[in-house]
Amino acid sequence: MKRILITGAAGFLGSHLCDRFIRDGYHVIGMDNLITGRLKNIEHLFSLKQFEFYNHDVSKFIHVSGKIDYILHFASPASPIDYLKIPIQTLKVGSLGIHNCLGLAKVKESKILVASTSEVYGDPTVHPQTEEYWGNVNPVGPRGVYDEAKRFQEAITMAYHNFHGIETRIARIFNTYGPRMRLNDGRVLPAFIGQALRGENLTVFGDGSQTRSFCYVDDLVEGIVRLLHSDYAQPVNIGNPCEITISQFAEEIIKLTGANPKIIYKELPEDDPKQRQPDISRAKSLLGWEPQIDRAEGLKRTYLYFQTLTKKELEEIDHINFEKFIIK
């Protein structure tokens, strides 16, 4: 049985990856310090013999006994509210954390895939974004702690690949959504759905003309699996190229939820990207991958999940601080 270590296992993406590799017959070792992850996301796996969990901060030395065939490094705050509240931890997991994971991969002779992000492109001057684009990032702006941590992560990963011959893969992940997202993490989809479920107005920052492209989590996971098993070491965009403005997206959420809120427009935060759309030509040609689940179906599945949350969970959001943070 192949053994795979997944860091950030209790997070949104990490937990779905645990599910997928369990289904595929792997022994899964989940690791998370639970600073943003939730045990609720993986508690259904605890009774399985092929799953084990380590409550550990990957920014500290990592020890896992036995062989490890694969490592997926998905540990990191991934939403604006999180990485603006814990900027130092965000930088550490993207530097010390990846260093420890790469060191472990070297010792265990493991193949490692690291989760990068579309945020390495910053507020792009190229549209759509191809992997050859180097980005337009403000290193000292409010988003710099996340953007630059991920850019460093890519650099050290390629250094280990080139210098030590480690088998590495880099996934540049664009906006992804689905069940297990936290309503209070500041990302636009859970923010809109949470506001609609609580009977509040929807908050759009800027004039709503900025664009995003949303990929359903099952499609994203399939892309990650294919990239892991490929022989390509350069970065690969994984996302849905179907672009939509934030104002249009707000209208879709209103229609989906059957709510009747107003859309309130507020000042656009500093360095908020005006456009975000992946060019997935590389993923199509190398991996034979492209998204299969359209936004209407994905939103329906996600909304059904959010409807199962308790009143307490729906009210978790910090209304006082929320408007200070950036909608991703």
What residues are annotated to the active site?
146
Q: With helix as H, strand as E and coil as C, how does the chain read? A: CCEEEEECCCCHHHHHHHHHHHHCCCEEEEEECCCCCCHHHCHHHCCCCCEEEEECCCCCCCCCCCCCCEEEECCCCCCHHHHHHCHHHHHHHHHHHHHHHHHHHHHHCCEEEEEEEHHHHECCCCCCECCCCCCECCCCCCCHHHHHHHHHHHHHHHHHHHHHCCCEEEEEECCEECCCCCCCCCCHHHHHHHHHHCCCCEEEECCCCCEEECEEHHHHHHHHHHHHCCCCCCEEEECCCCEEEHHHHHHHHHHHHCCCCCEEEECCCCCCCCCCCECCHHHHHHHCCCCCCCHHHHHHHHHHHHHCCCHHHHCCCCHHHHCCCCCC
